[in-house]
Structures are given as C-alpha cells and as structure tokens.
Structure 1
Amino acid sequence: MVAWKNFDQLESYKALNETECVDLVQALTAERVKNYTVPMAAGMSYNYAAKQVDDKILELLAKLSEEAELVEKFKELYNGAVINTGEQRLVLHQLTRGQLGNAVNADGVDKRAFYVEQQNKIADFANKVHNGEITNEKGEKFTTAVQIGIGGSDLGPRAMYLALENWAKVNGCFKMDAKFISNVDPDDAAAVLNSVDVSKCIFILVSKSGTTLETLTNESFVKDALAKAGLDASKHMIAVTSETSPLAKSSDYLAAFFMDDYIGGRYSSTSAVGGAVLSLAFGPEIFARFLNGAAEEDKLATNSNIKENPALLDALIGVYERNMLGYDSTAVLPYSQALSRFPAHLQQLDMESNGKSVNRFGEPVDYPTGPVIFGEPGTNGQHSFYQLLHQGTDIIPLQFIGFKNSQIGTDVDIQGSTSQQKLCANVAAQIVAFACGKEDENKNKNFEGGRPSSIIIGDQLTPESLGALLAHFENKVMFQGFVWNVNSFDQEGVQLGKVLAKRVLAHETEGALAVYSDLLNI
C-alpha cells in the first residue's frame, strides 16, 4: 500500500528548500540544450534546458518522486483504486485509450470493455451519418455537428477539434463542421444558430447527470429554434450522458452514448464526450489515432526514471518552481494557431484539479498548491502580455509548444524564409531572451533574464501528437496532485455558485444576494 503524506512531511521537501536554483543567464549553453531533453510519444520531446535545475536538483527531484511514491500511486490509479477520495470514486480516464494494468471492474462491468463498446457505437453512428444512412427528415446529409455542453464537456473537445480542423481538411479527413454552444448567455447559442443551417445539424447534448443547468437551458434554446424551423428536434439530437441519467433512454434523442462517474469532465476528451463530436467531424479512424497517441504517452508515465518520464519530470520541476522558488503562475504558449484553445483547456484541467487548500483527507495544507494557468498562441501573445513576462516584477515560468512543420504542408518563402520558419525563429528567440536577458545602460531596455521555460517540440500537430500532448498534461497535473497530497479529481469549488444561482432564480434570497439580484433585474 502507498502512503499518502503532505509534501512538507517528506524529507525531500526540506532538502529541496535548501538548494539554490540555477543561474540561467550563465547556465544556458548549447551543450545543455542538447542534453536536457526527454523523448515523448508520437516523436515529440520535452526540453527543459531553460529551467532553473541542474543535476543536483534533478537528483533531489528523483528522490522526491521515489519518496512520494508517485509512479506507484499512478499504478494504484490505473489498477482501479479509489483515488478520488472526495467522491469515493475510481479515476479511469486513461482506460478510455488503453489498458495499462489489470482489468478494472466497477458496477459489475469490465470498464475497458465498456469504453470500447461506446467507442464502437459512436464509430458506427458516425459512419452511418457520413454515408447517408442517417439523414435529416428530408433525406439530406447532416453537414454540421453542434456540441451543447459546458466546462469539460466543451473546453477539451473544442480545443481538440480546433487543433485538428485544418489538418483534417489538408489530409482529406474532414467530414463535418463542428460548432460549440457552452455559455448560458443566450448570445452564445444565438450566434452559433445564426451561423448554421439548423436543418442539417446534429446537436450533441453532453451532460453526465442530465441536470446541468446551462446545458439544459441551451438545449431548450436549440429545441425552440428547431421547432420554429418546423423540424422535429428528436431527429436532430443525440445525447452523451450516464446510463442512469434521465437522458439515457429518452425518445428525445436519435441515440445515446454513455460515460460514467469515473471520468471527470476535464479529463473526458478521450471518452464519449470528445469521441462523438470528433468522430463526426473527422471520422472514427482519426479519433482512434488521437487515442493511440494518448495511450503511448500514458505508457511513458509508468516509468519510475524521471528522465524517461516526461510528464513526471515536468510535474516535479513545476512543483520545485511553485513551492521552492515561489512562482505562482505558469504561462502556456503554443506556437501553433491550431492550439488556440489549448491553454483554456489546460486552465480548467490544472486549476480545477489542483486548486485546493485541503489535502485528500480534508485537512488544511501549509504550502502552495496549483498555479494560475493562462496563455495564448505565439506570436500573438508576444504583442500582448509578453512585456510583463520579460520585464515585470513577477517571474512566471513558461511552457512553450512548437512544431517543426505546419499542418498545411506547403508554405511561401517571404524575404528569405517561410512563415513556419519565422514562427519557429520567434519561439527559439523567446526562450533565449527570457533565460539570458540583455544588459543595457538604459534601464528601460534592460532585461534581467532568469525567466525559466520549457518547450515541447514535435514534427507536426497530428492526431497522434495531439493525443500525446493531452495525456502529457493530464499526467503532469495528476503527479503534481500526488505530491501536494490533494484530490485532483473532484471540484467542490464549482458547486457553491450553482447552489446560490438556483436560489436567485427561485427568488429565495436575502441580504447582499437579494440586492445583487435586484441590481441585475432578476
């Protein structure tokens, strides 16, 4: 059995606090850049040469990993232990893309077989839509899939769709447009509905419980639009939900595909939550390739050697930065426009998972836990918030993501270099500029440097590399939660606002809540 201890109870905590971080201005040499790299799945690599660690600190991080039993805890997780202590649940999102350990049975069901069954059902449905076996009431093919969901039912699937949309078009795999409705703000649903031909849309309602306020409100908004167009909503909607939800056997839907309580929303992109929309948009074969990339990366996360486990190493360096160096934010900076919504997904993944001030037993912790996550694609971000990153009073660690080749496969030579070369030149320049800085007598032009970063480098953003990228960050967040001894798999912080909102709508308010309700004319 593994031991669950607070970070500050470990010997490694004291040892790491007594170390001095690396002076990046002096340390970032060509040799270091070559050597400080760990292979990832799908031909990618994680380079941490511009992080404030050296061999001594890496040795201490390896001891931390061993003392905190991080890989052993991961093995407990994928072999079916109740890791989500807040809700007394298993944590099985890795099982949606492969079997890492023993067969996991829950509720009398082999869960791997259950997830594969749902994937097969989705694949069959998507193929029938694509070949015209399932059509609208006029016998016309559906051309657009519209996902209705919020939080993990929107952010991950939307980010994955946008990441592969252009690639699929270039490679002849694009089947259907996909749109997303998430915000309960009626302007969100209206904007999507005004941009599509509703008669040729399949709407995917995603709600595990079947009771999510925003999602059901938007479903009603969509049903009203379909009715006004003279269309039968039940011929245009499918549900992704749990088998016990009120949506599961409803005649309001063409089909229902199932998830369960063992996969949190922010970890659900490789389940039916992402599977339905991605299989409809690109075809089941592309979704399967995405899963394969994630499964390959998951296997690396089982390695106890931190220099052969990129997610574990990334996690440990992040813990060192958060707890020993006192950095409270991390910027995720993909130099790929296709990953435009990936930072938003990671924002939820990380902050909803590890934004906790009590440990897995409900006891307060005396050290910082999850960082603030934000980001935008480069080079756009360079013309936005990089000023603060370079010369602000706070040091913010950076996680770059870059690809050697674009998704379009062709490019234009402009002034001696292609657009992709210009993009890659910018990310290389930024890493060195942040780390090494530049001395100038004019203090307004002086760059202190010492701003740490890592970069994940791939050949091209493909289904496999996207799956690996997703799994890398999921596993990184998991390992950090293990170090901090928090439960990364519940999200009670989301609930209080929901409860109070229901009170407002029921006009059961008093005090400040009542006055705010009046101010907003509710």
Structure 2
Amino acid sequence: MTQWKNLDTLASFGELAKVQKVNLVEAMSGQNGADRVKKYSVPMAEGLTYNYAAKQVDDQVIDALEKLAAEAELSDKFAELYNGAVINTGENRLVLHHLTRGQLGDTVTADGVDKRAFYVEQQQRIADFANKVHSGEITNAAGEKFTTVVQIGIGGSDLGPRAMYLALENWAKKNNTFKMEAKFISNVDPDDAAAVLASVDVAHSIFVLVSKSGTTLETLTNESFVKDALAKAGLDASRHMIAVTSETSPLAKSDDYLAAFFMDDYIGGRYSSTSAVGGAVLSLAFGPEVFAAFLDGAAAEDKLSANANVRENPAMLDALIGVYERNILGYPATAVLPYSQALSRFPAHLQQADMESNGKSVNRFGEPVDYVTGPVLFGEPGTNGQHSFYQLLHQGTDIVPLQFIGFKNSQIGTDVVIQDSTSQQKLCANVAAQIVAFACGKADDNRNKNFEGGRPSSIIIGDQLNPQALGALLAHFENKIMFQGFLWNVNSFDQEGVQLGKVLAKRVLAHETDGALKEFSDLLNI
C-alpha cells in the first residue's frame, strides 16, 4: 500500500528546494533557446505534444522532480485509483471517471456491478437513443423531428459538456456530423433560462435534465421554468425531456421523462464529461460516433499518464512542474491560454476542475497543511486575451505561469491570405511570439517599455482540434490535477467548499435569518 504524506515531509521536496534556479532569460535566448525547444518536448496521445522549453526548469530540476514523483509514489497512487481503491476519502468513494473511457487495470466491482460494463452499457443506451432521435423514430408529439437539444445542469453538469460542445461544433459542421444544435441552461438567474428558451423552438427541442441526486436546487428550478414554458406552448413536457441521474434518484423511474440514463457517485461532476453527463448532449448534437472518438482520445492519454517514467508522462511532468512553480518558486496563479476560439470555454471548465479539486487547506486526513496548494486559474482564448489581461502577465508584479494551447490548422479549413499570410498563420505567429516575449523580455531605457522577461510557459501543440485530440487534451488536464492533489496530499475529489453557501441560501429562502444574513436578505428584497 502507498503512503500518503504531506509534501513538506518528503526528503526529495527539501532537495528540490536546494536545486539552483534557472535563469529563464538566459536559457531561452539565442541558440540556447533553440536547443531547449527541441529538447524539452514530450509526445502526448492523438498527435499532441507537450513542450516545456519555456518553463523555468533544466535537467537538474527535472532530475529532482523525478525523485519527488518516486517518493510521492505518484504512479502507484494512480494505479490504486484506477484499480478501485477508495481515493475519495472525504466521501468514502471510489474515483472512476477513467473507467468511463477505458479499462486501465483490474476489473473494478462496486455495489455488486462491474463498473466498466456499467459505463459501456450507459454509453450504448445513449447511442441507441440518439440514433433514434436522429432517424425520426423518437419524435415530438406531432411526429416531427427534434432539431435542438438543451442541457439543464450546473457546475460540472454544465461547464464541461458546454466547453466540449463548443470545441467540436465547427468541426462537426465541417465534417458533416452535426446533428442538432445544443444550448445550455445553468444559472438559477431566470434571465438565463428565459434567454435560452427565447432562442429555440421549444416544440422541436429535447431537454436533458442532469442531476445525480435529483434534488439539485438550481437545476430543478430551471426544470420547472422549462416545464412551464412547454405547458404554455401546449406541449407535454414528458415528450420533450430526458434525465441523466443516478439509479436511486427520484428521477430514475419517473414518467416525466422519455428516458433516464445513469451515472453514479464515483464520477465527480467536474470529471463527468466522459460519462452520461457529457454523453447524452454530445451524442445528440454530433452523433454517438463522435462521442466515442472523444472517449478514445481520453483513453489514449490516460494510458500515457500511467507511465512511471516522468519524462515520458506529460501529465505527471506538467503536474510536477506546476508544484515546483507553486511551492518552490512561489507563483500564485496559472493562466490557460488556448489559441483556438473553439476552446473559448475550456479555461472556465478547467477553472472548476482545478480550483474545486485542489483548493484545499487540509490534507486527506483533515489536518491543516503548512504549504500552499492549488493556484488561482483563469484564461481566455488568444488573441483576445492579448488585448485584455496580458499587460499584467508581461509587466505586472506577480509572475503567472502560462499554459498555451495551439493548433497548426483550423477546424474549418477555410482561410484567406491578407498581407502575405493566412489568418491561421497570424494566430500561430502570435502564440510563438508570446512564448518568447514572456520568457526573454526586452530591455529598454524607458522603464515603461522595459520587459524583464523570465515569465515561464508551456504549450500543447496539435495538428487540428478534433474529437480525439479534445479527449486527449481533457484527460491531460484531469490527470495533471490528480497528480498535483497526490503531491499536496489533499483529497481532489470532494468539494465541501461549495456546500456552506447552499445551506445558508436555504435559510434565507425559509426566512430563518439573523444578523448580517438577515440584513443582506433585506437589502435584496428576499
């Protein structure tokens, strides 16, 4: 069995702190920089590459990180996870999102069920349902085809599936796999549901209600909003709604839904895009084959993450470098910067995945830790971000490590030549320029125009953003978060920090308030 120890008790962590720091400006300037770009690169699945040349590391740092990975037993802990150990100790649960896309190790049985078989069964049920919707076998009450799918969920039931849908929408249209437009309702703010409903033809819309427990307040409120709109249109809501829920929830066998597809307690919301939570909406939108390809890409990256060799394991290496930046170099945040408009909501998804997982100040045993854990994570697609917050990234007082994502080719393949280069070439030129500008800076006697440089970044490069590449990209970051949680000795798979506000909100709605809570409630006319 592995040993779960705090980061600062590991001998290799103390050794890492003593390794000489890298002068990134010198390391990335001239021929040194050219050599590093060729050297510090690791293949990922589906033709992606993780390049960390512009990170503040060298061979000595990587050697020390290898020792840290070995002492922290990162590979062994991952193996325990995918073989069915109770890794989510806070809720006494297995952690099985990897099983939704492949079998990495032993057969995992829980609740008397082969869990891989269970997830495959749900995927097949969703595929059959989606095919019947697309063929017109399942229709609205008037016998007409559904043209739009609307997901109702919040948190992981919204952010991940929404980000994945937007990532593949243009690709699917270009490759003739686009079946139905997808919309998403998440915020309990009535303006959200009203705006979505005003933008669709409800008579030809199928709604996917996602709630594991079947009791999520925001989701059920929005479901009522939708049912009211359907009733006002003279439509039978039960002919327009499906549920994604647990087998034990009140939604599972309700006549209010055309069908119910199941998830379980072993899949955290922020890790649920490869489960029925993402499977239903993505299969309806693009077809089951596209969702299956997405799963294949994730499974392929998971296999790489199981490699004990740090230098051949991009997610583990990325995680180790991130912990080095956070706990040794003292950097407080990370920016995810995809130079792909299709990934416009990918940083928002990773924000939840990372900050909800590793935003913890106690270890797995409930004991306070004496070191910093998860960073603040934010991001926007390039080149928009360049005209927004890059000023702080280049010349601000805090150094923020950067994770770029770029693709050699666009999804649509249509482009124009303007001033001797295409739009895609201009996009790629910008990301290449930013990496070097952040690392090397530019000296200027005018201090306002001086760039100190020394600002580290990595980049994941691919040929084109397609379903397989998207799956690999998602799995890379999921596994990076997992490995960092192992290193910090926190439970990355519960989220108690989201509960207190919910409890107090219920008190407000029940008018059981006093003190500041009552005064703020009065200010808001509740």
For Structure 1 versus Structure 2, the TM-score category normalised by the shorter chain is over 0.9
Which amino acid in the other structure matches residue 71 of structure 2?
E
Matches within 5 A, 1:264-283: 264-283=268-287
Q: 2:475 aligns with which of 466, 471, 478?
A: 471
Match of 1:2 in 2: 2
Higher mean C-alpha deviation, range 18-27 or range 199-208 = 18-27
| Residue aligning to 1:300 | 304
* Alignment partner of 1:134 out of 120, 138, 152: 138
- Give, in whole Å, the separation in 2 of the partners of 1:204 and 1:435: 46
Residue deviations 1:9-38 (CA, integer Å, cap 9, x gap):
000111111123211111011011011000
Equivalent residue, structure 2, for 1:342: 346
Aligned to 1:11: 11
Matched, 1:321 2:356: no
Aligned twin of 2:508: 504
1:38-86 CA distance string (max 9 Å, x none): 0000000000000000000000000000000001000000000000000
TM-score (norm 2): 0.99
Distance of 2:330 and 2:24 partners within structure 1:
17
Identity in percent: 83
Offset at residue 485 of structure 1 (A): 0.2
Distance in 2 (CA, whole Å) between partners of 1:12 and 1:261 is: 35
Which of 168, 171, 174 does residue 175 from structure 2 map onto? 171
Partner in structure 2 of residue 24 of structure 1: 24
Deviations 1:120-160 (A, max 9, x none): 00000000000000000111100000000000000000000
Q: Following the alignment from structure 1 to structure 2, what is the Cα–Cα distance between the partners of residues 489 and 416? A: 50
1:99 aligns with 2:103: yes
Superposed counterparts of 1:276-425, under 5 Å:
276-425=280-429
- Counterpart selection for 1:482 from 473, 478, 486: 486
Q: Aligned match of 2:436 in 424, 432, 441? A: 432
In 2: Cα distance, 1:143 partner to 1:410 partner: 26
Residues 275-325 of structure 1: CA deviation (Å, up to 9, x unaligned): 000000000000000000000000000101111000000000000000000
Post-superposition CA distance 1:354-375 (Å, at most 9, x none): 0000000000000000000000
What is the alpha-carbon distance in structure 2 between the residues aligned to residue 449 and residue 305 of structure 1? 31
Can you give the 5+ residue segments of structure 2 that lack an aligned partner in the other structure? none
Aligned to 1:446: 450
What is the CA deviation profile of residues 152-171 of structure 1, one whole-angstrom value per residue up to 9, with x for unaligned ones? 00000000000000000000
Aligned counterpart, 2:116? 112
Q: Distance in 1 between matches of 2:80 and 2:413?
A: 42
Take 2:311 and 2:414, find their aligned partners in 1: how far apart are those partners? 35
Letter in 1 for 2:36: R
Which amino acid in the other structure matches residue 379 of structure 2? G
Secondary structure in 2 aligned to 1:334? strand
Where does the alignment leave 5 or more consecutive residues of structure 1 unmatched?
none
**In the alignment, which of 220, 226, 231 is matched to residue 224 of structure 2?**
220
**Cα distance in structure 1, aligned partners of 2:397 and 2:344:** 27
Q: Quote how far apart the aligned CAs of 1:97 are.
A: 0.1
CA distance in 1, matches of 2:170, 2:22: 40
What's the CA shift for 1:411? Answer: 1.2
Alpha-carbon distance between aligned partners in 1 of 2:372 and 2:118, rounded to the nearest angstrom: 38
CA RMSD of aligned residues (A): 0.4
Structure 2 counterpart of 1:425, one-letter code: A
SS in structure 2 at match of 1:183: coil
Distance 2:47 2:425 in 1: 20
Give me the whole-angstrom Cα distance separating, in 2, the residues matched to 1:488 and 1:20. Answer: 31
**Shift in Å at residue 410 of structure 1?**
2.4
1:181 matched to 2:185? The reply is yes
Q: TM-score, normalised by structure 1?
A: 1.00
Name the SS of the counterpart of 1:194 in structure 2.
Answer: helix
